[in-house]
């Protein structure tokens, strides 16, 4: 941080940089001292993902600088307690990038809070109201955030949220493809229409708010997958399981997480719904809902569309809807950015032109209640190798042996078994949070993936050597009989890690899905079925 002459760096002759607070693809944030006013501030050094941008594409660099300045000046005119205050802009002209001087919010971020565990729906609603108020002020001024996520919500010491990083988020779509061809952003919280290449609008920020609140009360993100590519595909096409712990917040989450932007409620309606939850105070933390639990759909390649599929809603169940003009781009753009040799984004990059299908998020139908006659039922002994591909006892054991040999590890963060491949989060030795991904495919063996990350805070590592894999054929047979999916398009097993909040052990979850969704059953590690969530007839 010191210059060559040993002195601390001073920006614009006034702001002395003290320590790094964080950074990302668009620059670095510093804690600094305003030497004129003798106060602490936050200073954002804005830089593009490609440091050579100004050299090989000066027009794009100029566009980036102008966009940052325009958005920062617009934000500086916003006087709202939920929007970080812009104090000053340092602009040294073309060929340089701006520095944005902002208020220093000392209470950490919402992401820091969620790292401690999930929160109740009332507390989440109160946080949501604060963020929504800031978004409404920005939207009224013609500014969209485009990257609402826990890390961009700072917390004042009194618990009030402050939305930050407006200026940086607002330039992302303008520079993401024209500048470097890379994807910048956070796929987890990005609205489907923005992932698909459309610009979106204020309702796209509301989707992000809804996803952030869902994650807050459930303790995990419903669409986060092992790779950025898989996460983007999930955002575009996989059903969102109804929240189990949202209680009175369930209705507003359901309405916000609608993949049709026009169907999402207006900000004023969202404010009313959140206020009702927040003022309920003692509202129950959990409640039975009328939303059918949807199994996540495995990520598979989707061919380019030939004609749009018209959605029908005979039972409030949505068929996939093809977005016009975005069929082939997913394969090209994402392959460039996430395959070996491209730009990987384990924890951040997102937003891209592409996708081919979008299906319902939390779909409403009849109640999803476990079949009481199945709770505690044992599936019996070995039923032979009646599964398909790797969904057999020998197939699973072969994949596990190959992954453990390749990784040299035996502790898991998760294990996913499909008919033609198996993926696993393998815990780093000596850590209970860090993992690397490994994938096994017949004929290719096990290979380490490009993603390394941390498991969610409420999960703990587990081993699979004690699992009764011989019960897998019987579990698949029970799924065929009990899940109301007569012609499944896919079958797979997700091994969920132990949960520290509810003190539950690891489970084997067997899914059957078709074009309308699907159902799943939960069994313990010995193959005893504990819950069944069938698809609605």
Q: Please state, in angstroms and rounded to a whole number, the distance separating the CA atoms of residues 242 and 509.
A: 16
Rounded to 5 degrees, what angle do the CA atoms 205, 211, 212 make?
90
Taking phi first (over 0 means left), then psi (-120 to 50 degrees means alpha), and beta for anything else, what does residue 530 get?
Answer: alpha
Alpha-carbon gap, residue 324 to 306, rounded angstroms:
10
Q: 505: buried, middle or exposed (CB in 10 Å: 19+, 13-18, 0-12)?
A: exposed
The Cα-based distances of 173 to 27, 45, 64, 146 in angstroms read 16, 19, 11, 9
In the structure encoding, which two tokens stand for residue 171, read together? 């330039």
Among 46, 44, 40, 45, which Cα is nearest to 18's?
Answer: 40
Half-sphere exposure of 203 (CA within 13 A, CB side): 17
- The catalytic residues are 147
Write a three-state SS string for 281-323: CCCCCCCCCCECCCCCCCCCCCCCCCCCCCCCCCCCCCCCECC
CA distance 97 to 345: 24
Cα 82 → chain centroid: 23
């Amino acid at each position: 941080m010191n210059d060559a002459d040993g002195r601390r760096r001073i920006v614009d002759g006034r702001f002395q940089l003290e320590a790094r607070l964080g950074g990302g693809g668009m620059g670095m944030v510093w804690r600094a001292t305003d030497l004129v006013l003798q106060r602490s501030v936050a200073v954002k050094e804005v830089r593009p993902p490609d440091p050579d941008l100004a050299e090989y594409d000066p027009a794009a660099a100029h566009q980036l600088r102008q966009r940052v300045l325009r958005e920062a000046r617009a934000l500086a005119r916003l006087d709202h307690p939920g929007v970080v205050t812009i104090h000053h802009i340092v602009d040294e002209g073309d060929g340089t990038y701006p520095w944005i001087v902002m208020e220093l919010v000392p209470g950490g971020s919402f992401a820091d809070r969620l790292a401690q565990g999930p929160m109740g729906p009332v507390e989440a609603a109160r946080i949501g109201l604060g963020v929504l108020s800031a978004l409404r002020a920005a939207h009224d001024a013609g500014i969209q955030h485009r990257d609402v996520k826990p890390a961009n919500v700072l917390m004042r010491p009194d618990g009030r949220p402050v939305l930050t990083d407006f200026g940086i988020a607002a330039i992302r779509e303008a520079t993401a493809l024209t500048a470097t061809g890379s994807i910048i952003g956070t796929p987890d919280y990005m609205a489907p229409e923005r992932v698909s290449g459309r610009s979106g609008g204020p309702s796209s920020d509301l989707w992000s708010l809804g996803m952030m609140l869902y994650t807050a009360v459930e303790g995990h993100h419903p669409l986060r997958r092992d790779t950025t590519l898989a996460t983007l595909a999930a955002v575009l096409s996989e059903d969102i399981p109804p929240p189990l712990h949202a209680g009175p917040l369930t209705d507003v989450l359901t309405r916000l997480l609608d993949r049709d932007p026009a169907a999402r409620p207006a900000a004023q309606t969202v404010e009313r719904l959140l206020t009702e939850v927040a003022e309920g105070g003692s509202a129950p933390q959990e409640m039975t809902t009328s939303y059918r639990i949807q199994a996540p759909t495995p990520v598979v390649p989707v061919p380019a569309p030939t004609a749009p599929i018209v959605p029908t809603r005979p039972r409030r169940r949505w068929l996939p809807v093809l977005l016009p003009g975005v069929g082939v781009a997913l394969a090209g753009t994402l392959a460039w950015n996430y395959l070996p040799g491209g730009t990987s984004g384990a924890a951040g990059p997102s937003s891209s032109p592409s996708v081919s299908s979008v299906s319902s998020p939390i779909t409403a139908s009849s109640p999803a209640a476990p079949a009481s006659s199945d709770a505690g039922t044992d599936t019996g002994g070995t039923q032979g190798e009646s599964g398909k591909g790797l969904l057999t006892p020998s197939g699973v054991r072969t994949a596990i042996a190959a992954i453990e040999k390749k990784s040299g590890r035996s502790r898991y963060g998760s294990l996913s078994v499909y008919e033609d491949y198996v993926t696993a989060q393998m815990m780093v030795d000596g850590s209970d949070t860090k993992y690397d991904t490994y994938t096994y495919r017949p004929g290719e063996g096990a290979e380490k993936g490009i993603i390394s990350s941390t498991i969610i805070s409420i999960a703990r590592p587990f081993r699979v050597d004690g699992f009764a894999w011989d019960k897998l054929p019987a579990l698949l047979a029970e799924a065929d009989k009990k899940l109301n999916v007569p012609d499944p398009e896919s079958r797979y097993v997700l091994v969920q890690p132990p949960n520290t909040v509810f003190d539950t052990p690891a489970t084997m979850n067997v899914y059957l899905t078709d074009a309308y969704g699907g159902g799943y059953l939960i069994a313990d590690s010995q193959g005893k079925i504990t819950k069944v969530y069938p698809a609605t007839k």
